[in-house]
Amino acid sequence: MNVNVQPHPLGCVLEIKAQPGARKTELRGLQAGSLKVCVTEVAEKGKANKAIVNFLRKTWKLRGSQLEILSGETSSQKKLLIRNVSPEALVELLIASGVTES
Protein backbone atom coordinates (compact mmCIF):
# COMPACT_ATOMS: atom_id res chain seq x y z
CA MET A 1 0.00 0.00 0.00
CA ASN A 2 1.55 3.29 -1.14
CA VAL A 3 0.43 5.68 1.61
CA ASN A 4 2.22 8.81 2.85
CA VAL A 5 2.70 7.98 6.53
CA GLN A 6 5.71 9.09 8.56
CA PRO A 7 6.85 7.96 11.98
CA HIS A 8 6.48 10.59 14.72
CA PRO A 9 7.76 10.53 18.32
CA LEU A 10 4.12 10.35 19.51
CA GLY A 11 2.88 7.87 16.87
CA CYS A 12 2.63 8.58 13.15
CA VAL A 13 1.58 11.30 10.71
CA LEU A 14 -0.81 10.59 7.84
CA GLU A 15 -1.38 12.86 4.85
CA ILE A 16 -5.06 13.29 4.06
CA LYS A 17 -7.00 15.00 1.28
CA ALA A 18 -10.23 16.43 2.65
CA GLN A 19 -13.40 16.87 0.62
CA PRO A 20 -15.92 18.88 2.65
CA GLY A 21 -19.52 19.25 1.52
CA ALA A 22 -19.67 15.73 0.05
CA ARG A 23 -22.91 13.78 -0.37
CA LYS A 24 -21.85 11.30 2.30
CA THR A 25 -19.11 10.86 4.86
CA GLU A 26 -16.72 8.14 3.73
CA LEU A 27 -13.16 7.07 3.02
CA ARG A 28 -12.54 7.29 -0.74
CA GLY A 29 -9.24 5.44 -0.95
CA LEU A 30 -5.73 6.69 -1.60
CA GLN A 31 -4.91 9.42 -4.10
CA ALA A 32 -1.23 10.15 -4.71
CA GLY A 33 -0.43 8.57 -1.34
CA SER A 34 -2.93 10.67 0.62
CA LEU A 35 -6.05 9.24 2.24
CA LYS A 36 -9.12 10.92 0.73
CA VAL A 37 -11.73 11.63 3.39
CA CYS A 38 -15.14 12.97 2.37
CA VAL A 39 -17.43 14.62 4.93
CA THR A 40 -20.86 16.19 4.58
CA GLU A 41 -19.93 19.15 6.79
CA VAL A 42 -18.98 22.40 5.07
CA ALA A 43 -15.53 23.97 5.39
CA GLU A 44 -16.38 26.84 7.69
CA LYS A 45 -15.36 27.52 11.29
CA GLY A 46 -13.58 24.17 11.52
CA LYS A 47 -16.76 22.09 11.08
CA ALA A 48 -15.27 19.85 8.37
CA ASN A 49 -12.05 19.32 10.37
CA LYS A 50 -14.06 18.22 13.43
CA ALA A 51 -16.14 15.92 11.25
CA ILE A 52 -12.99 14.34 9.76
CA VAL A 53 -11.44 13.71 13.18
CA ASN A 54 -14.70 12.30 14.59
CA PHE A 55 -15.28 10.07 11.56
CA LEU A 56 -11.74 8.65 11.62
CA ARG A 57 -11.88 8.17 15.41
CA LYS A 58 -15.07 6.11 15.10
CA THR A 59 -13.90 4.22 12.00
CA TRP A 60 -10.60 3.22 13.60
CA LYS A 61 -11.99 2.87 17.16
CA LEU A 62 -9.54 5.38 18.65
CA ARG A 63 -9.90 7.87 21.49
CA GLY A 64 -10.50 11.49 20.49
CA SER A 65 -7.22 12.54 22.08
CA GLN A 66 -5.30 10.27 19.70
CA LEU A 67 -6.12 12.34 16.58
CA GLU A 68 -4.93 15.88 15.90
CA ILE A 69 -4.62 17.92 12.72
CA LEU A 70 -1.01 19.13 12.68
CA SER A 71 -1.16 21.27 9.54
CA GLY A 72 -3.53 22.28 6.77
CA GLU A 73 -6.47 23.37 8.92
CA THR A 74 -7.64 25.73 6.15
CA SER A 75 -6.42 23.59 3.25
CA SER A 76 -7.74 20.40 1.65
CA GLN A 77 -4.27 18.84 2.15
CA LYS A 78 -3.80 18.03 5.84
CA LYS A 79 -1.34 16.22 8.08
CA LEU A 80 -2.99 14.19 10.80
CA LEU A 81 -1.13 13.03 13.92
CA ILE A 82 -2.29 9.66 15.20
CA ARG A 83 -0.94 9.13 18.71
CA ASN A 84 0.18 5.72 20.01
CA VAL A 85 -0.19 4.08 16.58
CA SER A 86 2.85 2.93 14.59
CA PRO A 87 3.00 3.44 10.81
CA GLU A 88 2.63 -0.34 10.39
CA ALA A 89 -0.43 -0.44 12.65
CA LEU A 90 -1.95 2.47 10.71
CA VAL A 91 -1.56 0.56 7.44
CA GLU A 92 -3.41 -2.34 9.10
CA LEU A 93 -6.20 0.06 10.17
CA LEU A 94 -6.46 1.36 6.60
CA ILE A 95 -6.69 -2.17 5.18
CA ALA A 96 -9.27 -3.17 7.81
CA SER A 97 -11.41 -0.14 6.91
CA GLY A 98 -11.39 -1.12 3.23
CA VAL A 99 -9.02 1.54 1.90
CA THR A 100 -7.57 0.82 -1.53
CA GLU A 101 -5.47 2.81 -3.96
CA SER A 102 -7.47 4.65 -6.61
Give the separation between CA 57 and CA 62, rounded to whole angstroms: 5
Closest CA to 26 of 78, 101, 99: 99
Average the pLDDT over 74-80 and give the result: 96
- What is the per-residue pLDDT for 102? 62
Q: How much of the chain, in percent, has pLDDT values that exceed 90?
A: 92
- What is the per-residue pLDDT for 38? 97
- 10 Å CB burial of residue 65 (0-12, 13-18, 19+) is exposed
The ranges assigned to domains in the chain are: 5-96
CA 3 to chain centre: 11
Give the separation between CA 30 and CA 56, rounded to whole angstroms: 15
CATH 3.30.1200.10 fits 5-96, yes or no: yes
CB 19 within 8 A of CB 29: no
Residues 19-29: tens digit of each pLDDT: 999 999 999 99
Residues 27-74: tens digit of each pLDDT: 999 999 999 999 999 999 999 999 999 999 999 999 989 999 999 999
